[in-house]
Amino acid sequence: MQATLALGRVASARRGRLVGLALIAGLVAFGALIPQLTQQRDTLNLLFLVYLYMTLAQSWNILGGYAGQINLGHAAFFGVGALTTRILWTEEGWPFLLAFLAAGLAAVIFALVVGAPTFRLRGVYFAIGTLAMAEALRITVANLRPNISALPAKNIASYDLEPRYYLVLALALCTAAVVYLLPRTRLSLGILAVREDEEAAQASGVNPLTHKLTAFALSSFFAGLAGGAFAFYHVSYYPSLAFSPIWTFDAVLATFIGGLGTLFGPILGAAFFIFVREQLAVGAVHLPIIGTVHVRDVHQLIFGSLFIIVVLVLPGGFVEAWSRLRSIVRRLVQRP
């Protein structure tokens, strides 16, 4: 009887994954058709942000969710990718695709350089160390490149939103595909073992530093590519903007709201985060003493409160909520 129930749960989980993958495939196909169905730039810009945040959240999830290392300096790798792409593409004259791939490679090299010393820290000390590293890099870039980074006139004249939309859509799909395949490799066994108990993993022959650096490199690679897409998308911005800690904390929020350490969590969390944030950006409330307050000025407070609620009530985010709902519905259906 217990064996039958176990097989039933495995089959149910497999059907759930297949349904989820089919849903993602349908959404990707629909997303690919969007530019052909509408020429509204607002729609394309909104979806660009959704796919960018899906990539950023999914890349953070590789290290934070699967390897269990809370990285608060994720913005550093996003910024390195943006800066590398911008310099090589607009200043050195490289073809964009080469500059884009170089962004991911530069982020990986930077991750390997800073990873060995920072992984000597553990827990909250690692989180604080990565945050300090990212802030130091942001301040350095702001001092070295204080002027606005604008595209040359020829690039502005040929600017087209559609290829940028398709680039970030493909990037979000590739990142999700890697996260889907990661738990199905031998490498993931070591990464998950380090996440659960580093000392026990080391005692069983797993090298914790090697596996953490591998997850760090993979995470930073996609963060760097996301930064490269950001540099390709914006006509002008200050270089230090791409190193802002907001890119880290937004990715953390989206991942935890959707579901840490899951495939679909960052996807759901990123879509929810962007759509709700854009709605809040145009809203306003009237407070008795303070007066009219634009919600965009306090949206971080709103999302911070939501983050606390999710962590306390639903540590698994939307994915856990969906699993609980399915269990309740299944029990109601099976009840005589």
pTM across the whole model: 0.88
* pLDDT at residue 323 in the model: 82
The pLDDT averaged over each successive group of 10 residues in the chain (336 residues) is 44 58 73 81 92 96 93 96 96 95 97 91 90 95 93 91 94 93 85 86 86 94 97 94 94 92 92 86 52 57 76 82 81 73
Residue with tokens 């300096």: 73
Task: Please report the pLDDT score of residue 290 as a whole number.
Answer: 47
Cβ neighbours, 10 Å, residue 273: 25
β-bridge partners, 284: 294
Residues paired with 77 in a beta bridge: none
Q: Which residues of 301-327 are buried (b: 16+ CB within 10 A; e: fewer)?
A: eebeebbeebeeebebbbbbebeeeee
Q: Which residues contact 122 (CB under 8 A, 6 or more apart)?
A: 198
Q: Extract the tokens encoding 63.
A: 């290290």
Give, for 286, the enclosing helix (H) or strand (E).
Answer: strand 284-287
Token pair 């962590």: residue: 311
Burial of 166 (0-12, 13-18, 19+ CB in 10 A): middle
| Contacts for 68 with CB less than 8 Å, ≥ 6 apart | 194, 195, 196
User: What pLDDT is stored for residue 185 in this prediction?
Assistant: 84
CA distances from 279 to 82, 250, 275, 299 (A): 27, 16, 6, 10
Yes or no: say if 195 and 68 are a contact pair by the CB < 8 Å rule.
yes
Q: What is the pLDDT of residue 294?
A: 54
Angstrom CA distances, 67 to 1, 96, 130, 174, stand at 36, 32, 15, 19
Structure-token match 């680039």, residue found: 167
